[in-house]
Structure 1
Amino acid sequence: MQKEYQTITEISGPLVFAEVDEPVGYDEIVEIETPDGQTRRGQVLESTSDFVAIQVFEGTEGIDRNSSVRFLGETMQMKLTEDLLGRVLSGTGEPIDGGPEIEPDEERPIVGEAINPYSREYPEEFIQTGVSAIDGMNTLVRGQKLPIFSASGLPHSDLALQIARQATVPEEDDDSDDGEGSEFAVIFGAMGITQEEANEFMDDFERTGALERSVVFMNLADDPAVERTVTPRLALTTAEYLAFEKDYHVLVILTDMTNYCEALREIGAAREEVPGRRGYPGYMYTDLAQLYERAGRIEGNDGSVTQIPILTMPGDDDTHPIPDLTGYITEGQIYVDRDLNSQGVEPPVYVLPSLSRLMDDGIGEGLTREDHADVSDQMYAAYAEGEDLRDLVNIVGREALSERDNKYLDFADAFESEFVQQGFRTNRSLEETLDLGWDLLSELPKEELNRIDEELIAEYYVEDEQAEAVEADD
């Protein structure tokens, strides 16, 4: 039942406080009508028997004590239909692409429902992104949440677009009961991005045709910060509908989670809450977990929800509360590196601190290629040794190193310039990625490949033609 009041007592930032004579439901949707006839939407953020705190999505400008507050008796709902694919929506879920109004098949609360742990299926099916540094070294798995840790000025947006454009589920890995396989969809949720970035995203989606299989939620930097708190929930509600009702494999890309957390801090300051680390709310861990844990697979459903949240680390500091808490909740991270970017490597993914905790379950015999795990382990070891030797070269010079050490230095250079470097427009299959890995590993002596099964070495190691000719002469 709708209730209307004209009892606004205070306006603080994005919040409006009003007196009530009976409790109002938490998260209930509110309409505020200003004296000049404008209507703003909001959501109950705090409720007692005497007053409510309302966060206003469109901003509080023009609202005063003479405005009326109407409680609608329902929480925020997302209009859901399969026809959302190909549409561009605002941060509050309204169409902004000039298309028709959404005719929903159903509406659902955006807060979602927690997946029963007993009903969860363990993630172990490979998603091919076409990016060698991810597919080969930090494999993404269906139902996983794998964030990208970046920083200001780095091309994480280009990497996000590349993944959105190229990500696929290999047909042999799709185990749908009907034998036809599930379709792949991308939900792209942008929070607090600039108009320039928005134009770049949309131009790429439209030019490549990726928009046809995508739903885009766009919250710009000049939109109210409070709107950013609902954008990811709208995106995830849409993803859950497509995955668990329409059997899509859905990849959700959320950028930038730092802007989302800044919105939480702004709201917390307006409520005069006691701040936690660096001024962020003490409940930020719980809030982020509510979003990240909406990824997964459910037993009996063919679809899946996979998340790639992107965040920019303030000051390039991975101990900052946002990346720190994100790392605890998610299953790994992909690092975008400033040094590699300055060298012109595209995408500048630094694999040594990167991690995919579910990689071992998504690769290997019967899942990708039988040599995938061994190749990944050996390249990690060889690249790490080459990185350590670079520090030594700065002290003693390259001439002081042994022939073996120089081969590892050459491997580290080639790994960055040939394996990681591929450009933002190149889509490599897993076969191409692993074959390229073998080409690099074949520059090392066979006896150095101590992490690879001998049968795999015999099958894939690329012998040097000149060496073979010398052996034949002998």
Structure 2
Amino acid sequence: MTTRAFQKIYTKIDNITKATVTLRASGVGNDELATVGGKLAQVVKIMGESVTLQVFAGTEGIATDSEVIFHGEPPKLRVSDSLAGRFFNAYGEPLEGGEIVEGEAREIGGPTVNPFRRLQPSELIATGIAGIDLNNTIVTGQKIPFFADPDQPYNAVMANVALRAKADKIILGGMGLTNDDFLYFKSVFENAGALDRIVSFVNTTENPPVERLLVPDMALTAAEYFAVDKGEKVLVLLTDMTLYADALAIVSNRMDQIPSKDSMPGSLYSDLAKIYEKAVQLPNGGSITIIAVTTLSGGDITHAIPDNTGYITE
């Protein structure tokens, strides 16, 4: 270990898997970001001085003597009204070279709202789509699953909901989107002149799958800013939560954790719940409503991902 400008740099990695590295380090916090051999990583496990990091882009090219530099803080998102109308990657960085958002840096993935401070959801969010408004009415503060076959145009439905929903802000969390889907969302929002109320966090199939784990927390941190600080009605669209869960499985399996049902991590229920339980109706009139697409493999509703999703959501 060496120290450069008050920054600890470790150069002895004990173990390397396809997605993680393990080393001995001190003074490190859980979820803290780090750079491993020039690649961004995040602390996922601490046992004494043994620290395991997930490397977002994979560990290919990383050697046992690669430099590991801890950043001293977890992932953060800068929040302000200028988030609206912008597209960001999984790290909250503007896509297509836009200006960096100036604002307060907030940690992502914080706790949910105290149930004592919640109001009973009761206010309709009209989408203008008869199948939803008549058969599965959306109410502010709800968490709604949207089960879809992978071959169905579910992203087109999500884009339609975004344009038609009577909400102050729409937050899109896109995980594993094809470039075609990303460009589709972009063009639909721009052509409809609706960008001023839409914030998008996007991970495409070209990006490392593990980056998807950051997208829901980024989207919900932005949602909490508009709902809690600004008292606005916020609708969060997450697509596709099956790809999010697959990314969870990649990390847990490569950490040699014993898999649960359908090769999913044993923590799947908690991992999904910490996202869905961010749905809330607040006393100040602000609200977070979540619609989450879960694609079904071969229509299997008993698979661990839709099974857990159905338990947690309404």
Q: TM-score, normalised by structure 2?
A: 0.95
Query: How big is each residue's C-alpha offset from its partner over 1:48-101, in whole Å with a ceiling of 9 and x where there is no partner?
Result: 223211012233233222211112222211111110000000122110133211
Matched to 1:228, the amino acid is: R
| 2:70 alignment partner in structure 1 | 71
| 2:29 alignment partner in structure 1 | 25
Q: CA deviation at 1:2?
A: 4.3
| 2:60 alignment partner in structure 1 | 61
Q: CA deviation at 1:323?
A: 0.8
Match of 1:152 among 150, 153, 157: 150
Match of 1:317 among 300, 306, 313: 300
Work out which structure has the larger RCO, using CA pairs closer than 8 Å and 6 or more positions apart in sequence.
Answer: 2
Q: CA deviation at 1:156?
A: 0.8
Q: How does 1:265-284 map to 2 (within 5 A)?
A: 265-284=249-268
Give 3-state SS (helix, strand or coil) of 1:18's partner: strand
1:211 aligns with 2:211: no
Contact 1:90 1:217 survives alignment (8 Å): yes
Query: How big is each residue's C-alpha offset from its partner over 1:234-257, in whole Å with a ceiling of 9 and x where there is no partner?
Result: 110110011110122110000000
Structure 1 Cα separation of the partners of residues 45 and 95 of structure 2:
30
Q: How does 1:36-435 map to 2 (within 5 A)?
A: 39-104=38-103, 106-169=104-167, 184-299=168-283, 301-331=284-314
Q: How does 1:433-452 map to 2 (within 5 A)?
A: none
Matched to 2:34, the amino acid is: V
Report which of the two has the higher share of helix. 1
1:16 aligns with 2:18: no
Give 3-state SS (helix, strand or coil) of 1:133's partner: helix
What is the RMSD computed on CA atoms of the aligned residues?
Answer: 1.4
Structure 1 Cα separation of the partners of residues 18 and 79 of structure 2:
32
Structure 1 Cα separation of the partners of residues 76 and 150 of structure 2:
34
Structure 1 Cα separation of the partners of residues 35 and 9 of structure 2:
9
- Provide closer, same or farther for how the CA distance between residues 223 and 121 of structure 1 changes in structure 2, counting only shifts above 3 A: same
Give 3-state SS (helix, strand or coil) of 1:264's partner: helix
Unpaired stretches in structure 2, ≥5 consecutive residues = 1-5
Structure 2 Cα separation of the partners of residues 127 and 277 of structure 1:
35
Contact 2:163 2:194 survives alignment (8 Å): yes
Deviating above 3 A after TM superposition, structure 1's stretches of 4 or more consecutive aligned residues are none
Structure 2 Cα separation of the partners of residues 216 and 75 of structure 1:
21
Structure 2 Cα separation of the partners of residues 219 and 59 of structure 1:
15
Unpaired stretches in structure 1, ≥5 consecutive residues = 170-183, 332-474
Structure 1 Cα separation of the partners of residues 17 and 58 of structure 2:
11
Q: CA deviation at 1:298?
A: 2.1
Give 3-state SS (helix, strand or coil) of 2:136's partner: coil
How many aligned residue pairs are there? 309
Structure 1 Cα separation of the partners of residues 286 and 7 of structure 2:
38
Q: TM-score, normalised by structure 1?
A: 0.63
Contact 2:245 2:305 survives alignment (8 Å): yes
Structure 1 Cα separation of the partners of residues 27 and 208 of structure 2:
27
Give 3-state SS (helix, strand or coil) of 1:318's partner: coil
Q: CA deviation at 1:194?
A: 1.1
Query: How big is each residue's C-alpha offset from its partner over 1:395-414, in whole Å with a ceiling of 9 and x where there is no partner?
Result: xxxxxxxxxxxxxxxxxxxx
Report which of the two has the higher share of strand. 2
Contact 1:3 1:72 survives alignment (8 Å): no
| 2:3 alignment partner in structure 1 | none
